[in-house]
Amino acid sequence: MIATGVIVEYNPFHNGHLYHIQQARKKTAANIVIAVMSGHFLQRGEPALLNKWQRTRMALSNGADIVVELPYPFATGQAKDFAFGGISLLQALNCSSVCFGSEEGELSSFKTTYNALKAHEEEIQTTIRLSTKNGSSYPQALNNAYQIISKKYNLSLLDLSQPNNILGYHYYEQIQKHQFDIQACTIQRIAAGYHELINAETQTIASATGIRKALFETHNLASIEGFMPPASFEILKEHKNYANWENLYPLLRYTLLRTIPQQLTAYVDITEGIEFLFHKAAKQAETFAQFMQIVKSKRYTWTRIQRMLTHIFMGYTKQQQQEVSMPSYIRILGMTSDGQKYLSENKKKLKLPLISRVGKTTDPLLALDIRATDLYMLATGGGEPGLDFKTPPIRL
């Protein structure tokens, strides 16, 4: 059996994701699609709309055969860590390829860009340092450096202002850098851009961001129905308590007020004095929206701030980070019968231990995922602590 992999959040699963899985299967002639999916906290530094088992069910109902969890440090890390975690797990699962959506759509562009950037690495780093010194955010500075190199050497590079191109670039880079034995494959994204709003009359594919916006702002489930596969929409409809930062804010606020600003620097990504701003904002802001109004700045992207807050919420310290630098297990969240067949066949060839039932553990990485579930559940009223021990893999 041939397996291809996708690295996903499914927040929530929509028509674009369905297309992605179908194309991945087709392009790679795979029998099996394995989704490495983030758990309860996501790359933009926010809680998932629905819990990981609900999102696993969405994935299995729509073409994925196996869903494994991308552990917390990778799921909430920078693009390169996110990519490293995801590819490592697919490699450990013996996937022959990884398929990612991109605005670009042609793998050759990723190759050209990777080689060019490697060749001019030093020049790029200097340009980035200069831009960030002048107040640009890191992504802005990076993009700026690319533009300069592209012009100077007359190269046709990837448009790295596009979010899926960036992520794709990092997948490609990680494969090269660690010499992973896995083929990259990209699928042209169709229709909705990342941040686009839904226009139900002209599109049937909308971005997950657009869908979440519609859920929280217009509270109109019906307006979303056309953009999601029926099986996914049913699950969304069934679970009405969609989690967001406002649910977490009372606990985050308590933690910020309970901690001396200086102590906040113990948490991952907290640097450069932002801890004082966080402390001050927690005193004033009664909601997360108010909090972000106070702390947002040109210096930090919204995502970067949210990631810092996620790490504080989670109590994820720099010290803990050092113990969890690579995936140490394959945590099965769910599988179809085909998925199970694949796992049985590959049992002895898997490069990491398989966990389908969580028992007592001393693995600090697994402990983090258990903690993420517990705190997510506490904050959102979604269930009691310990669900990771009690929930068997979803079977479909």
Interacting residue ranges for its own copies, rule: CB under 8 A: 250-251, 253-255, 257-260, 282-284, 286, 313-315, 320, 367, 371, 374-375, 378-379, 384-386
**Cβ contacts of 286 within 8 Å, gap of 6 or more:** none
Cα–Cα dist 60/20, whole Å? 14
Identity of the residue, 205 or 285, whose beta carbon is nearer to its own copies in the bound complex: 285
* Residue 39 Cβ vs its own copies, minimum distance, rounded to whole Å: 16
Helix axes 302-314, 274-284, angle to 10 degrees: 80
Cα–Cα dist 217/237, whole Å? 16
Identity of the residue, 240 or 360, whose beta carbon is nearer to its own copies in the bound complex: 360
Name the 3-class secondary structure at 67.
Answer: strand
Q: Where are the beta strands (DSSP E) in the chain?
A: 3-8, 32-38, 66-70, 97-102, 183-188, 330-335, 354-355, 394-395
Say if strands 330-335 and 66-70 run parallel, antiparallel, or are unpaired.
antiparallel
**Cβ contacts of 315 within 8 Å, gap of 6 or more:** 255, 267, 371
Q: Which of 389, 240, 375 is nearest to 310 (CA)?
A: 375
Identity of the residue, 199 or 263, whose beta carbon is nearer to its own copies in the bound complex: 263
Name the 3-class secondary structure at 78.
Answer: coil
**How is residue 50 annotated by DSSP?**
S
* Residue 250 Cβ vs its own copies, minimum distance, rounded to whole Å: 7
Kindly tell me the number of DSSP H helices and DSSP E strands found in the chain: 19, 8
In this structure, the number of other CB atoms found within 10 A of the CB of residue 197 comes to 15
Residue 235 vs residues 47, 61, 62, 392: alpha-carbon distances, Å: 18, 10, 12, 18
* Residue 9 Cβ vs its own copies, minimum distance, rounded to whole Å: 23
Identity of the residue, 173 or 388, whose beta carbon is nearer to its own copies in the bound complex: 388
Q: Give ∠ CA 103-105-110 in degrees, rounded to 5.
A: 95
